Structure 1
Amino acid sequence: MDEPFSQFNEWYALARESELNDSNAMALATVDADGRPSVRMVLLKGHGPDGFVFYTNFEGRKAGDLLVNPNGALLFHWKSLRRQIRIEGAVARVDDTTADAYFATRSRDSQLGAWASDQSRPLESREVFMARYADMNARFEGQEVSRPPHWSGFRLIPRRIEFWQDREHRLHERWLYSADGKGGWAKGMLYP
């Protein structure tokens, strides 16, 4: 038995030092009710043995997919480090206290943007969005911006975590950790 979180922490810390922009960016893959996949970039906002947390507008496609099919896959790719981490697992909504606490750390402009955006829906023009943003700015003038009821987070609880290290001549190194269903992890190598 072994656990993958110390390895993740080590690689993530190195990425935080070396990646110029958004070292916490990860691709999130979901599948809708009809089995159609979709992938997009999101930002990791928390992690640990209990899972990997990201936030979103719950009226957009990604949340819709996850609410219908609560399984997802994440991919961290740090090209400059020649490393990637793939994570697969079940997805659950974070509690309101956790979502509120994170929302409070966002910049005021980002908070207002969460109110102004109908994420993933058609937008007539940039001007329409900026007018909605201005309306929200006026609405919350002189007060804290509360978290919108349609905005929260998800936690992906990993079942599989794969660490991939680039090697010369495509002789890569791959390690797979699989949850054993008893709170532990099985570790093994994969062919490149």
Structure 2
Amino acid sequence: MARSDIALELPKMRASYEGGSLDESELADTWYEQLQRWLDEAANFGLAEPNAMVLATSDPQGHPSSRTVLAKGLDERGLVFFTNYTSAKSHDLMATRYAAATFPWFAMQRQANIRGTVEKVDPAETAAYWFSRPRGSQLGAWASPQSRVVADRGVLESALANIERQFADAERVPVPPHWGGWRIRPEIVEFWQGREDRMHDRLRYRLNRDGWKIERLGP
């Protein structure tokens, strides 16, 4: 299809949302119980990587950036993911201490959005997750100069080979000093359910001085 044909088709691309509804009476008592419920339902639905979320950050000048990461922890304290602390996203988070994340469950006509401050998780929590990872993923985390420019693929493969030799005799690969978890501590958590005629359901938990409040938003 020619580029002009694609451009002409874009305005016609739409889907009818008729898969469900979301009422205040259906919500869990807490945002994290509701999010866990939807994560479980997404997994049971058969979605690939239901814990994948689009993480949005910004630098000190306000320039936004987004990428997909995997949620690896959820409780009343917040939502956790792990990454390289020298990465672009970590530099943003260390500078602004704020982030947003969206779970886009397109096949279920749902999404959930979390916004709040961030903090590094403690080393014990990082270690507990690290030692549950496959050895190959551990070695890759040591080898990758995340977000930095490299000359070619050969540079990465050489770095990985060096790390493999370094830890060849190690029963356990240690946690890199430059790697760990971030926790988003939500101030707002919104649950979105697609509805017919674009009259979607949007319910959010919002933190105020008196605790969490549930609000309905216009679609």
Which bin holds the TM-score, normalised by the shorter protein?
A: over 0.9
Between the aligned residues of both structures, percent identity stands at: 42
Structure 1: runs of 5+ lacking an equivalent: none
Q: What does residue 16 of structure 2 align with?
A: none
The match for 1:113 is 140
How far, CA to CA, are the matches of 1:30 and 1:51 in structure 2? 17
Distance 2:106 2:62 in 1: 30
The separation in 2 between residues aligned to 1:181 and 1:27, in whole angstroms, is 28
- The aligned amino acid for 2:193 is Q
Is 1:169 the counterpart of 2:197 in the alignment? yes
The DSSP-based 3-state class of the residue aligned with 2:138 is: helix
| Other structure's SS at 1:111 match | helix
- Say which of 54, 58, 81 aligns to 2:108: 81
CA contact (8 A) 1:55 1:151 kept: yes
* Partner residue in 2 for 1:185: 212
Deviation at 1:28, TM superposition (A): 0.6
Give the Cα separation in 2 of the matches to 1:181 and 1:32. Answer: 28
What amino acid sits opposite 1:145 in the alignment?
V
Aligned runs of 1:40-51 on 2, under 5 Å?
A: 40-51=67-78
Aligned residue in 1 for 2:119: 92
Q: By how many angstroms is 1:75 displaced? A: 0.3
Q: TM-score, length-normalised on structure 2? A: 0.84
Aligned length: 190
* Structure 2 SS opposite 1:86: strand
User: How does 1:1-192 map onto structure 2 within 5 Å?
Assistant: 2-143=29-170, 144-182=172-210, 184-192=211-219
Letter in 1 for 2:110: R
Unaligned stretches of 5+ in structure 2? 1-28
Shift of 1:180: 2.1
Partner of 2:10: none
Give the SS at the match of 1:47.
Answer: strand
Shift of 1:20: 3.5
SS at match of 1:105: coil
> Segments of 4+ in structure 1 off by > 2 A?
none
Q: Counterparts of 2:36 and 2:86 in 1: how far apart (Å)?
A: 32
Q: Secondary structure at the match of 1:66?
A: helix
Instruction: Name the Cα RMSD after superposition.
Output: 1.0
One-letter amino acid matched to 2:144: S
- How far 1:125 moved relative to its partner? 1.2
Assess if the C-alpha contact under 8 Å between 1:46 and 1:52 holds in 2. Answer: yes
In the TM superposition, what is the alpha-carbon distance from 1:17 to its structure 2 partner? 1.6
TM-score normalized by structure 1? 0.96
For residues 32 and 209 of structure 2, the distance between their equivalents in structure 1, rounded to whole angstroms, comes to: 16
Instruction: Work out the CA distance in 1 between the residues paired with 2:46 and 2:80.
Output: 20
**What is the SS of the residue equivalent to 1:176?**
strand
Is 1:162–1:177's contact at 8 Å kept on the other side of the alignment? Answer: yes
The answer as to whether partners of 1:19 and 1:80 remain within 8 angstroms in 2 is no
1:86 Cα deviation from its structure 2 partner: 0.6
Please identify the structure whose Cα radius of gyration is greater: 2
